[in-house]
Structure 1
């Protein structure tokens, strides 16, 4: 079977086609390797011992390709386009970094998916997590090596900040039933959209529907960005001033809730920690509920 991203229909890049944001996520445990997405055979053991389709153990395959094994990688929860293999490949390729990323749907508790209170450089309104201790969702976790993590950091900052979630407060269960000790997550520095002033607007859906809905709710946005989603991404994608103006209108309409719940878990360390370090790191964090 052809496992190329093109053949699987997973090669779209949201930054190049804003209205497809967030793109199609992986739906099964996989290894993104160059232009292919290879299935992983889940085993009742650690991720590095899972087997790659028509290959050996995951760690062996990564090492054979000159890449870091799982134990020297960083798990990162994706709530937007970083769950899309086409977008991940694009981010790494533009910096000439190796495209070798395990991507696994993981059951995560305590995290909801909303919409950031800003307009992204590509013109779309991107997703952001928010703390909701009643929420349960399957989110894609990517395992990045140090260089890959730095590359993704550079695409997220300054609009997003990185936190590390402790597994004892945010349950993260792998398909193997292993529970992660912790994982990184990016959250918006611009807050989360809540047009009714109380409840975050759900993210992860059709981008055109989202933008059309926001335009319907604000005459000022229609004046700035046009009357439909296509006009929105065209105008916003071309002009930083238009994006800044739209972001300002979000706030002035009273649509943005501040993102403070992740602040107890903010990772401001320059040291990049590995997968194997995370349980110990989670143990060292203050026992907060995330309502800070």
Structure 2
């Protein structure tokens, strides 16, 4: 079994976009994992529910496997069935950012993170400038798209902490699995999951009128926005470094830049997710979101 260093630093996953805006959206996980503090442990996918997958742990340079739910209980954490599946579109797919958001509040960063194929959702750019100075990503509905996105399984305290970092610029919806097919690496189809979408709309490409693709290199995005708008260049230019330094230091500048997005005619309203706004008295848990029929791959 492998016993290599699984620290975020060793894996190159310790970057925090909230502290270094041009890192946004940060490096996402690429394989099913358990984030546990400053380490990222590998999950061995089984044709079963998430809690029955195995996590590879190290003890005195030896590796051993045990079920994910058992590993969470031993750490004093909620099992997967008592957690809330949340689709990460931007930096919440980055272990470094998730760890930063939680641990700065004294909340344990113990989070299962799994890449999931999501049908009907694409990633664009939000129509606002974030408090850190970058232009964040946002999902939008595209019925022809299938996008690989990371789902984080958050307990109630972790979900509240992430909510506080997203509101009021983002709103939370719950996507039903019968309208937005979500397929786990195990073959399980999720019955639903939460997603945050921008309250400021989606930035459009001025040439095509279609949403600008999100999730790419932040410096390239900001350079393109500066090129496309002399007003933004005057306010935030001449380059991406000056943009994040200026915007990150002054809320009035961020608000002005956000207004320019609208005045340039770049902002497409987000209405499709409004149907799915989460108005339940409490969030739904993984064990309350039944998988669809035939959710597990055939075994033989």
Which TM-score bucket, shorter chain as reference?
A: over 0.9
Is 1:252 equivalent to 2:263 in the alignment? yes
> Counterpart in 1 of 2:18?
15
- 1:116-155 to structure 2, matched below 5 A, reads 116-155=126-165
SS in 2 for 1:39: strand
> Counterpart in 1 of 2:41?
38
SS in 1 for 2:289: helix
CA deviation after TM superposition for structure 1 residue 279, in Å: 3.2
- 1:114-263 to structure 2, matched below 5 A, reads 114-196=124-206, 198-263=209-274
SS in 1 for 2:163: helix
- 1:76-115 to structure 2, matched below 5 A, reads 76-115=86-125
CA deviation after TM superposition for structure 1 residue 67, in Å: 0.1
> Counterpart in 2 of 1:28?
31
* Alignment deviations for residues 127-148 of structure 1 (CA, whole Å, 9 cap, x no partner): 0000000001110000000000
* Alignment deviations for residues 99-139 of structure 1 (CA, whole Å, 9 cap, x no partner): 10000000111000000000000000000000000001110
SS in 2 for 1:96: coil
- CA distance in 1 between counterparts of 2:180 and 2:160 reads 24
SS in 1 for 2:142: strand
- CA distance in 1 between counterparts of 2:52 and 2:7 reads 23
- CA distance in 2 between counterparts of 1:156 and 1:175 reads 27
- CA distance in 1 between counterparts of 2:204 and 2:173 reads 22
- CA distance in 1 between counterparts of 2:98 and 2:178 reads 28
> Counterpart in 1 of 2:55?
52
CA deviation after TM superposition for structure 1 residue 227, in Å: 1.2
Is 1:70 equivalent to 2:55 in the alignment? no
- CA distance in 1 between counterparts of 2:188 and 2:100 reads 30
Moved over 4 A (4+): none
- CA distance in 1 between counterparts of 2:199 and 2:172 reads 10
- CA distance in 1 between counterparts of 2:114 and 2:274 reads 26
- Give the TM-score taking structure 2 as reference length: 0.92
CA deviation after TM superposition for structure 1 residue 226, in Å: 1.3
Query: How many pairs are equivalent?
Result: 281
* Alignment deviations for residues 214-247 of structure 1 (CA, whole Å, 9 cap, x no partner): 0000010011101110000000000000000000
- CA distance in 1 between counterparts of 2:109 and 2:119 reads 29
* Alignment deviations for residues 178-202 of structure 1 (CA, whole Å, 9 cap, x no partner): 0000000000000000032731000
SS in 1 for 2:214: coil
Unaligned 5+ runs, structure 2: 57-63, 293-300
SS in 1 for 2:92: helix
- CA distance in 1 between counterparts of 2:65 and 2:38 reads 16
* Alignment deviations for residues 144-193 of structure 1 (CA, whole Å, 9 cap, x no partner): 00000000000000000000000011010000000000000000000000
